[in-house]
Amino acid sequence: MDHPIPVTFIRLIILLPLIGATINFLAGAWLQKTFGKQAITLIGCGVVILAFILAARAFFEMLHQPPENRFMLDDLWKWFDVGGLNLDIAFWLDPLSMIMTLIITGVGGLIHIYSTGYMHDDDGYWRFFGWLNLFTFAMLVLVLGDNMWLMFVGWEGVGLCSFALIGFWYKVQANSTAGNKAFIVNRVGDLAFVIALYSLFAGLQAAGHPTLVTREVAHYAPLLATVPINFAGYQSAHQLVGFVTLLMFIGATGKSAQIPLYVWLPDAMAGPTPVSALIHAATMVTAGVYMVARLNFLFSMSPFTMGVIAVVGGLTALFAATIGIAQNDIKKVLAYSTVSQLGYMFAALGVGAYAAGVFHLMTHAFFKACLFLGSGSVIHAMGGEQDMRKMGGLRHKMPITFWTFVAATFALCGIFPFAGFFSKDEIIWQAFSHGHFVVWAFLLLGAGCTVFYMSRQVYMTFFGEFRGTHEQEHHLHESPPSMSYVLIVLGLLSVVGGWLKWPEFMVSFKPFEEFLDPIFSSEATRQVTEAGIHSHGMEAGFAIVTVIVVVAGWYFADLIYRQKTLDPARFSEMFGGVPYEWVYNKYYVDEFYDRAVVQPYLFATRALAWFDTNIIDGFVNLAARIIVFLSWLSGLFDHYVVDWLVNFASNVTYNVGGRLRRLQTGSINGYLYGILAAVMLILLARAVARA
């Protein structure tokens, strides 16, 4: 790892989307008017597809190298060198960032293509592709940056693009409010992340190795365990690592929508559906997962943080899944599902199963993108309708959407041999084998809820009778090829995407894990990863338990929503309807935040504004009044004393001059008489003096 291969193609992967974004933003409106939307399509999709081709080539090149040589560095230029912090604009390609790059450009490219169909009638077509391209660029910077500051630049960049795309249809107030919410909630996490970077740097500086280059931090991190430092009250750097990783995880909860900062993601569904698929399912929200996996050497050093991550992940997985049960908006269900699945990923990271977490990240990108795009296809056909209660029976009208949606649903539910079975069930098992029994229970229950809400969604949308208006029914159609083909590709990926890592009790085939192994090779990580139970028998047994829960969840949904032998009202009215009420209203978390954070904040700002206008301004105004009074006094003195003296002097001069000027008669004779008289006088005076 100390000698990465210097390459120059990584910059191309990153620059291509930036070029696309630049062209679309600067000339997009003109291009769209002059050459039509296909010009935008060509640029917007072309750059991402080209980037994917480059990334795929790099991937095969990487596969040809032995594992210890799979590190490539593209060092562009020195960024800054300040106070011992010396960073380059440099991009780092290793197996982990390789996988992320393939997901971003691959799934991202597919979603770009899908968008050409979905957004075809929108006037802001060029703007949309500009933002999508810019997002792709920022996301690539995030995953490929070789130091943590560059990662943070990408981290903020994707946040900006997310904000802009959630509020893409900005003419509706609710959309821009949702964008603001996403941005502001993310800010909370970002603050923690920045503090974490500063503290980590301070700790490393105290340990004698000031750096934030990720691979160097990885190299020096073990030293932190031994070096005594004195920073911010921490006696040893080891304690500091706990502090730093916890703050980083708070940053991740913002970006990756975990408890307590998940509230923005469901609202983010206000954006166009391809945006939900690309940013709020497949890529951006996984940035936190990527960050923890990338910095696994730090996180593994702090058992406390790992425990927090596992518990928060497990809790989020269950919590969001239960909310998903009662939602009626087709995209909201998927949004809560995403929050829940991200919880699974974090739970995997928290228990030390990094590879499983990243694997679920990848398969989730496939099937959740497929689900979102499928829902987009449905919404498109329904003319913008998102309420599942008004759908139904769509499977005959939209076969491609239906079958791909079902494939992705199977993948999400973890049905063998669909992708989710290999990734999600692995996480559930890993939680148990690493001794996190509570987390395991959460995840297992969450899996049951997942199946229930997904089955409910499929039944409500595609089965039964159509419940919408007559006009909508007449208008129903399968989506255009640009959308349906993308669905087919993603549907296939949802099937085969999981075959890269089989459970050990079945086959010993896990190239994915072996590919990532060099990333998770630090000593601390090895200890965390290899702890726990290794029993094929137990693994198989727990897989069966999971399957039972999954089947139970499906059976319930089937009874209620397909066979309709169970009335959902029986459950919603249980215990006086209170539990249903709570779930339906998302546990009143938004209301709670509104009361606990937003309203106090607004109250505080109002109080401060009052303080400002009345107290601070009062002081300022008082000072001003005093100054005005003093100036008035000074003015009096000026007017009556100084000016009087000046005027007196001038008056004297004026009056004297006025009298003296009479002497100047202008008559030459007069002067001559004067001269004569003066001479006479002088002579007379001399005569008198002599006498």
Partner 1 sequence: MGGGITLNHFLVLSLIVLSLGLFTVLTRRNAIGILMGVELILNSANINYLAFAFYGGGKYDGQIFAIFVIMLAAAEAVIGLAVVLAIYQNFKTIDVDATETLRG
Closer CB to partner 1, 172 or 677, in the complex? 677
Closer CB to partner 1, 622 or 672, in the complex? 672
592 touches partner 1 by CB under 8 A: no
Q: Which of 672, 680, 683, 684 binds partner 1 (CB under 8 A)?
A: 672
Q: Which of 628, 663, 687, 689 binds partner 1 (CB under 8 A)?
A: 663
> Residue 387 is encoded by which pair of tokens?
């309420």
List the x/- string, 603-642, binding to partner 1 by CB under 8 A. Answer: ----------------------------------------
Segment contacting partner 1 by CB under 8 A, of 424-432, 467-475, 635-643, 660-668: 660-668
676 touches partner 1 by CB under 8 A: yes
Q: Please state at what angle helix 148-166 crosses helix 237-255, rounded to 10 degrees.
A: 20
Closer CB to partner 1, 636 or 652, in the complex? 652
Closer CB to partner 1, 627 or 683, in the complex? 683
Smallest distance, partner 1 to C-beta of residue 671, A? 10
- 3-state secondary structure (DSSP) of residue 602: helix
Q: Which of 3, 470, 570, 661 binds partner 1 (CB under 8 A)?
A: 661
Burial class of residue 683 in the structure, from the number of CB atoms within 10 Å of its CB (0-12 exposed, 13-18 middle, 19+ buried): exposed
Closer CB to partner 1, 585 or 665, in the complex? 665
Segment contacting partner 1 by CB under 8 A, of 193-201, 583-591, 658-666, 682-690: 658-666
Closer CB to partner 1, 30 or 673, in the complex? 673
> Residue 470 is encoded by which pair of tokens?
């007559």
> Residue 564 is encoded by which pair of tokens?
């309709």
Q: Which of 507, 633, 668, 691 binds partner 1 (CB under 8 A)?
A: 668
565 touches partner 1 by CB under 8 A: no
Number of residues that bind partner 1 (CB under 8 A): 13
Closer CB to partner 1, 34 or 669, in the complex? 669
List the x/- string, 262-301, binding to partner 1 by CB under 8 A. Answer: ----------------------------------------
666 touches partner 1 by CB under 8 A: yes
Segment contacting partner 1 by CB under 8 A, of 113-121, 474-482, 553-561, 666-674: 666-674
Smallest distance, partner 1 to C-beta of residue 650, A? 19
With CA atoms as reference, report the closest residue to 380 among 393, 394, 368, 369.
394
Segment contacting partner 1 by CB under 8 A, of 280-288, 314-322, 418-426, 669-677: 669-677
> Residue 109 is encoded by which pair of tokens?
């490219």
Segment contacting partner 1 by CB under 8 A, of 121-129, 202-210, 564-572, 668-676: 668-676
Burial class of residue 354 in the structure, from the number of CB atoms within 10 Å of its CB (0-12 exposed, 13-18 middle, 19+ buried): buried
Measure the N-to-C terminal CA separation of the chain; round to a whole number of Å: 126
Q: How many of the other CB atoms lie within 10 Å of CB of 331?
A: 25
With tokens 């703050």, the residue in question is 247
Q: Which of 3, 64, 470, 662 binds partner 1 (CB under 8 A)?
A: 662
Smallest distance, partner 1 to C-beta of residue 660, A? 8
687 touches partner 1 by CB under 8 A: no
At 5, which helix (H) or strand (E)? strand 5-6
Task: Tell me which long-range contacts 52-58 makes (C-beta under 8 A, separation of at least 24).
Answer: 52/102, 52/105, 52/106, 52/108, 52/109, 54/9, 54/12, 54/13, 54/16, 55/13, 55/98, 55/101, 55/102, 55/105, 55/106, 56/102, 56/106, 57/9, 58/9, 58/10, 58/13, 58/93, 58/98, 58/101
Length of the chain: 691
* CA gap 256, 320 in Å, rounded: 13
Q: How many of the other CB atoms lie within 10 Å of CB of 662?
A: 7
669 touches partner 1 by CB under 8 A: yes
Segment contacting partner 1 by CB under 8 A, of 118-126, 346-354, 429-437, 672-680: 672-680
Smallest distance, partner 1 to C-beta of residue 641, A? 34
CB neighbour list of residue 627: distance below 8 Å, 6 or more residues apart: none
624-654 burial, b at 16+ Cβ within 10 Å, e below that, comes to eeeeeeeeeeeeeeeeeeeeeeeeeeeeeee
* CA gap 513, 515 in Å, rounded: 5
Number of helices and strands in the chain (H, E): 30, 5
Closer CB to partner 1, 437 or 671, in the complex? 671
Smallest distance, partner 1 to C-beta of residue 661, A? 3
Q: How many of the other CB atoms lie within 10 Å of CB of 149?
A: 18
Residues that bind partner 1 (CB under 8 A): 660-669, 672-673, 676
